[in-house]
Amino acid sequence: MEAAGGVKKRAHARREQVLDAATACFRRHGFHAASMAEISREAGMSVGHIYHYFSGKEAIIAAIVEREQQEILEVDDGIRSQPDLGRALVEHAPRGLQRALDGASGPLLLEVLAEAARNPAIASMVREADAEVRRRIGSTLLAATAGSGELADLQGRLEVLGALFGGLAIRAVRNPGLDRESTARAMQRVIGALLEP
Amino acid sequence: MEAAGGVKKRAHARREQVLDAATACFRRHGFHAASMAEISREAGMSVGHIYHYFSGKEAIIAAIVEREQQEILEVDDGIRSQPDLGRALVEHAPRGLQRALDGASGPLLLEVLAEAARNPAIASMVREADAEVRRRIGSTLLAATAGSGELADLQGRLEVLGALFGGLAIRAVRNPGLDRESTARAMQRVIGALLEP
Amino acid sequence: MEAAGGVKKRAHARREQVLDAATACFRRHGFHAASMAEISREAGMSVGHIYHYFSGKEAIIAAIVEREQQEILEVDDGIRSQPDLGRALVEHAPRGLQRALDGASGPLLLEVLAEAARNPAIASMVREADAEVRRRIGSTLLAATAGSGELADLQGRLEVLGALFGGLAIRAVRNPGLDRESTARAMQRVIGALLEP
Amino acid sequence: MEAAGGVKKRAHARREQVLDAATACFRRHGFHAASMAEISREAGMSVGHIYHYFSGKEAIIAAIVEREQQEILEVDDGIRSQPDLGRALVEHAPRGLQRALDGASGPLLLEVLAEAARNPAIASMVREADAEVRRRIGSTLLAATAGSGELADLQGRLEVLGALFGGLAIRAVRNPGLDRESTARAMQRVIGALLEP
DNA sequence: AATGAATGAGCTTTCATTCAT
DNA sequence: TATGAATGAAAGCTCATTCAT
């Protein structure tokens, strides 16, 4: 017998170990160019053993995408919990920019989206998470602007907000040396305009 | 003997034929999951013959990326040639949105960017084209607002403009059923704010 | 401490448990396509534990073949112990036919024979059991026909008898819907002829 | 361009080359223990190239089984074309025996039947060929005995005939050193009885 | 210009087996 | 006695690329 929970905990840790390794590999080479052998090397685990935790490469990709979407929801939660959403969004701009430029998340995000564009399983995960974000931000936004009449084009504004922040990952690839301060200021100007009634 | 130029023309047509086929395949399966066999089938050409026109798969990818960037410059030229850039940009919003949602270019764009995030050769092509776009739009914008003093954060505004339009490709994946009209209006509101002094 | 014999008994039961599970798996997928994991699942026992009772997959196969041959000897004993061997054989025909058609033993028998055709260890087990059967049936037959002079071609008749009954397993595969009564009658006619002096 | 038919002929020859190699490998190790690498080595062809001619290992197995069944039909045709079927069958006994004992076809036959017992695709091929044999032999037998009234238990007799000849492959494994002459005589006795009205 | 036969490395995946607990 | 985590070799299969024709 083993200590209660010990087995499950270890199994979970092993899974995370694989996911971390796979994330690194996928960032470097993309989903399809990264090999199971490379992942196993990075995870410090034999190839065969990975199959004790994941049914295949597809399952690893799916798990990573899920984790990635989870993180998006968490970032979003951090913003929404602020007392003034508009201000929080505006203030988030520089951080979002930095995240896109420095964080290694950008390339992986693009990889995920490219995959979602052809893999229905990935697509539905991505879309569910996105719908959740829109629902949350939307309701917070509604509550925040409750006094000043209904906010026109709420859905459209949410879309544009998503395009703006998501688009930063694209800018990070297209122009990694961009002027951060200037861009942050322009972002803030635009976000401000987006939240006006 | 063949008429002068005929050979070259035919060769060019053959190349385009391969690129069209490859574009279709890459859209369906991504750069790495699409096989040369599939491309050759789609192009109606033997596998071996493709190697008369391209040194390998990498070269095909590069050529496609180049073509894609060229198209971006052309779209951009269309906008810039309008007498009033601000208005042209605002009016371009619905078309850009439609392009992102309906056109099959979205998935490929994401594929290209994901590839650029790890392949230096692709990256430099993407960055050069992007620099050119910024240069052009920037100078047009400068000229347009010449009367009203210098436009603060010009570079930042260009980045945000790029993020906004690029971000539409992301929205198309994350929420393909988005409300187009509402989104177009929100876009126009944001573009307007972006061009104000 | 455990009661004397209890340990051995339990170990034997465990072995049988494994053999039963393996038999089921081998029937379904054959010797080489069945996996130890599948056997362990079917046996309700961990993979590793099976190795306490058997040195490996080969040993399990060997044990199953042995058990199978043992059963053949038992069936044979049942026939031989009858007062009139000839009649017993004739009467055995319908039962042998049913056994081949309904029993799950047919496929496994073919699997064993196919394996024997290339695995010397299996081959020798199969051949020893077969030799024993021929010896027994032969001597009983000799005793039964002692009065009426020597039985010509005794060995050949035994071979043909074996071919006939063994051949039923083949018929079960080649024509599982065969007319049982008609076939049983034809078998009886033929066996009768085989035992005539 | 290539000489008319040359391409097809060569492709067919290549396929045969693979089938011959696979037959040898399957005889030695069985369907599942023989590897594509081994087959490719035996065929003097790269692994990958085999896949130009066969969609996979399963397809090779199926093609071999088909070929094997075809051979059975040919042997059968040889017998049926004789003026006196009864006599032809009786005279075929020693040859059938020799074929089972010396020919390398025995092991493969058992392998095929074992596979048929679990693989539906193989099963249906085997059963179709068998049905055809029964149809042919049956009608010939009917014609031969037309004068002497209807032959009772025709189907049963055909089954037993099949069991008898098929059973020889089993005898070849169980007792490869059997007395051929004695066995041939016993077979002839039995066949004779089987054809009597 | 054009074919597709041919290669062999590399892919994902499975498996029998071992061993620390 | 019993587990299942862990291994590594080998499996079937795919692929970009080359080359004789």
* Residue D194, pLDDT above cutoff 70: yes
How far does the CA of residue B13 sit from the closest CA of chain A (Å)? 29
pLDDT in tens, A130-156: 999 999 999 988 888 776 677 899 999
* Residue B101, pLDDT above cutoff 60: yes
pLDDT in tens, D36-86: 999 999 999 999 999 999 999 999 999 999 999 999 999 889 999 998 998
Residue ranges in chain C modelled with pLDDT below 70? 1-5
Mean pLDDT of A21-48: 96
For C114, the closest of D111, D134, D182 (CB atoms) is D111
Domain termination site, one of C54, C73, C99:
C54
Handedness of CA C52, C57, C63, C64 (dihedral sign): positive
The mean predicted confidence, pLDDT, of chain D is: 92
Which of A177-181, A187-191, B109-113, D104-108 bottoms out in mean pLDDT, i.e. has the lowest?
D104-108
* Residue D150, pLDDT above cutoff 60: yes
- C32 contacts D160? CB cut-off 8 A: no
Which residues on chain A are in Cβ contact (under 8 Å) with B186? 153, 156-157, 159-160, 194
Question: Are residues A65 and A110 located together in one domain of the fold?
Answer: yes
Question: Are residues C118 and C145 located together in one domain of the fold?
Answer: yes
Question: Are residues C76 and C167 located together in one domain of the fold?
Answer: yes
- B110 contacts A30? CB cut-off 8 A: no
Which residues on chain B are in Cβ contact (under 8 Å) with A165? 167
Which positions ≥6 away from A20 have C-beta within 8 Å? A43
The mean predicted confidence, pLDDT, of chain B is: 92
Question: Are residues B108 and B167 located together in one domain of the fold?
Answer: yes
pLDDT at res. B4: 54
- Using the structure block, give the residue that is written with the tokens 């089921």: C24
**Residue C133 and residue C79 in contact, taking contact as beta carbons nearer than 8 Å:** no
Question: Are residues D101 and D124 located together in one domain of the fold?
Answer: yes
pLDDT at res. B57: 96
Region of B44 (left: φ > 0; alpha: ψ -120 to 50; beta: rest) is: left
- Domain at B134, CATH number: 1.10.357.10
Question: Are residues D22 and D76 located together in one domain of the fold?
Answer: no
**Widest pairwise Cα distance in chain D:** 64
- Distance in angstroms: CA C123, C1' E4: 47
Q: Which two tokens stand for residue A141?
A: 């936004």
Which residues on chain B are in Cβ contact (under 8 Å) with A113? 110, 114, 170, 173-174
- Distance in angstroms: CA D196, C1' E21: 72
How far does the CA of residue C80 sit from the closest CA of chain D (Å)? 20
Which residues on chain A are in Cβ contact (under 8 Å) with B162? 167, 170-171, 174-175
Which of B68-82, D72-86, D141-155 bottoms out in mean pLDDT, i.e. has the lowest?
D141-155
**Residue B31 and residue B111 in contact, taking contact as beta carbons nearer than 8 Å:** yes
pLDDT in tens, B120-157: 999 999 999 999 999 999 998 888 877 777 789 999 99
* Residue B70, pLDDT above cutoff 50: yes
Mean pLDDT of B168-178: 97
Cα A195 from Cα A127, distance rounded (Å): 24
B42 interfaces chain A, CB cutoff of 8 Å? no
* Residue A1, pLDDT above cutoff 60: no
Per DSSP, C103 falls in state: S
Strand F contact with D1 (CB < 7 A): no
In b/e form, how buried is each residue of C113-147, taking b as 16+ CB within 10 angstroms?
A: bbbbbbbeebbebbbebbeebbeebeebbeebbee
Query: What is the band of B95 on the pLDDT scale with cuts at 50, 70, 90?
Result: very high
pLDDT in tens, B28-58: 999 999 999 999 999 999 999 999 999 999 9
Residue of A15 and C103 predicted with greater confidence: A15
Residues 44-103 of D with CB under 8 A from C: none
For A170, the closest of B127, B167, B179 (CB atoms) is B167
- Using the structure block, give the residue that is written with the tokens 């085999």: D50
Cα B68 from Cα B129, distance rounded (Å): 10
How far does the CA of residue A98 sit from the closest CA of chain B (Å)? 14
pLDDT at res. A2: 42
pLDDT at res. D138: 92
Number of domains observed in the structure of chain B? 2
pLDDT at res. D4: 45
Determine which helix (DSSP H) or strand (DSSP E) holds C54, and give its type and residue range.
Answer: none
> pTM of the predicted model, to two decimals?
0.92
pLDDT at res. C88: 93
The neighbour count for residue B84, using CB atoms within 10 Å, is 10
* Residue A12, pLDDT above cutoff 70: yes
Cα B101 from Cα B149, distance rounded (Å): 37
User: What one-character-per-residue DSSP string does chain B give?
Assistant: ---TTHHHHHHHHHHHHHHHHHHHHHHHHHHHHS-HHHHHHHHTS-HHHHHHH-SSHHHHHHHHHHHHHHHHHHHHHHHHTSS-HHHHHHHHHHHHHHHHHTSTHHHHHHHHHHHHTT-HHHHHHHHHHHHHHHHHHHHHHHHHTSTT---TTHHHHHHHHHHHHHHHHHHHHH-TT--HHHHHHHHHHHHHHHH--
Residue of B184 and C9 predicted with greater confidence: B184
Q: Which two tokens stand for residue B155?
A: 């570079």
Domain termination site, one of C54, C77, C99:
C54
Q: Which two tokens stand for residue B145?
A: 């607002």
How far does the CA of residue B179 sit from the closest CA of chain A (Å)? 7
Question: Are residues D83 and D37 located together in one domain of the fold?
Answer: no
- Distance in angstroms: CA D1, C1' E1: 12
- B159 contacts A162? CB cut-off 8 A: no
Q: How far is CA B71 from CA A114, B66, B121, D161, in A?
A: 20, 9, 19, 77
Per DSSP, A146 falls in state: S
Whole domain around residue A184: which residue ranges? 58-194
pLDDT in tens, A106-130: 899 999 999 999 999 999 999 999 9
- Domain at B9, CATH number: 1.10.10.60
Residues 165-184 of A with CB under 8 A from B: 165-171, 173-176, 178-179, 181-184
pLDDT at res. C11: 85
Cα A65 from Cα C156, distance rounded (Å): 71
pLDDT at res. C10: 83
* Residue D3, pLDDT above cutoff 50: no
Question: Are residues C50 and C66 located together in one domain of the fold?
Answer: no
Question: Are residues C47 and C100 located together in one domain of the fold?
Answer: no
pLDDT at res. B9: 84
Which of A160-174, B83-97, C146-160 bottoms out in mean pLDDT, i.e. has the lowest?
C146-160
Residues within 7 Å (Cβ) of strand E: A 2, 34-38, 47-48, 51, 55-58; B 7, 11, 14, 45-49, 51-52; C 33-37, 47-48, 51, 56-58; D 7, 10-11, 14, 45-49, 52
pLDDT at res. D101: 94
Query: What is the band of A3 on the pLDDT scale with cuts at 50, 70, 90?
Result: very low
Chains in contact with A, where contact means 3 or more Cβ–Cβ distances below 8 Å, are B
Mean pLDDT of A59-84: 92
* Residue B1, pLDDT above cutoff 50: no
Which residues on chain B are in Cβ contact (under 8 Å) with A168? 163
For A156, the closest of B117, B164, B182 (CB atoms) is B182
* Residue D141, pLDDT above cutoff 70: yes
Question: Are residues B35 and B64 located together in one domain of the fold?
Answer: no
Question: Are residues A74 and A45 located together in one domain of the fold?
Answer: no
Q: Which amino acid, B40?
A: S
Question: Are residues C48 and C63 located together in one domain of the fold?
Answer: no
**Residue A18 and residue A67 in contact, taking contact as beta carbons nearer than 8 Å:** no
Measured CA to C1', the nucleotide nearest D32 is F11
Domain termination site, one of B39, B54, B69:
B54
